[in-house]
Amino acid sequence: MDPKISIWIVKSLLILALIYLAYVDWRTLRLPNTITFPLIVFGITFNWVSDLRLTDPSSALLGALLGYASLWVLNAGYRLLQNRDGIGMGDAKLLAALGAWLGWSSLPNILVIASATGIAGGIIWLKWRGHHLQQAFPFGPFLVIAGIIELLWPQLIPTLILPKLI
């Protein structure tokens, strides 16, 4: 099979899994381990054994570790200040999965895009839900949007957005 077709099949399956996770998180405020854990393992394994890899194996492993650790540390800091969780660990596992597939260098772009779209989504969510600031808000769908953008257009921020800001 043509490698270009094979990589698009892999990317399409990854996108389908991510869209499903976004749907589940939006509806239930949960990201199931039965999907996030295999995505982490498959991402590291795919980049380790496949010639079609999306990143090098060490970047995939580091991406999974840093993806999880970055949101874990952010949540730990929030918990110290507020005595409650600020972000779910399902989000951390989802970011770990994105890091496993796309590598550690994609994580800053994913977090910037997810934060920007999350702010816009949060404003809409507050208006829709009647300004209840204590309500939980699903961040997973915005991580998914950012992950898909980074998967399909990895140079979006460095080439299109960043030069206009500088």
Angstrom distance (rounded) from CA 32 to CA 93: 9
Tens of pLDDT, residue by residue over 90-105, are 999 999 999 999 999 9
Give the per-residue pLDDT at 166. 58
Side-chain half-sphere CA neighbours of 158 within 13 A: 8
In the chain, what is the greatest distance between 2 CA atoms, to the nearest angstrom? 54
Q: Are 60 and 100 contacting, i.e. CB atoms less than 8 angstroms apart?
A: yes
Tens of pLDDT, residue by residue over 16-69, are 999 999 999 999 999 999 999 999 999 999 999 999 999 999 999 999 999 999
Q: Where are the domains of the chain?
A: 3-165
The proportion of the chain whose per-residue pLDDT surpasses 70, expressed as a percent, equals 90
Give the per-residue pLDDT at 157. 67
Angstrom distance (rounded) from CA 76 to CA 83: 10
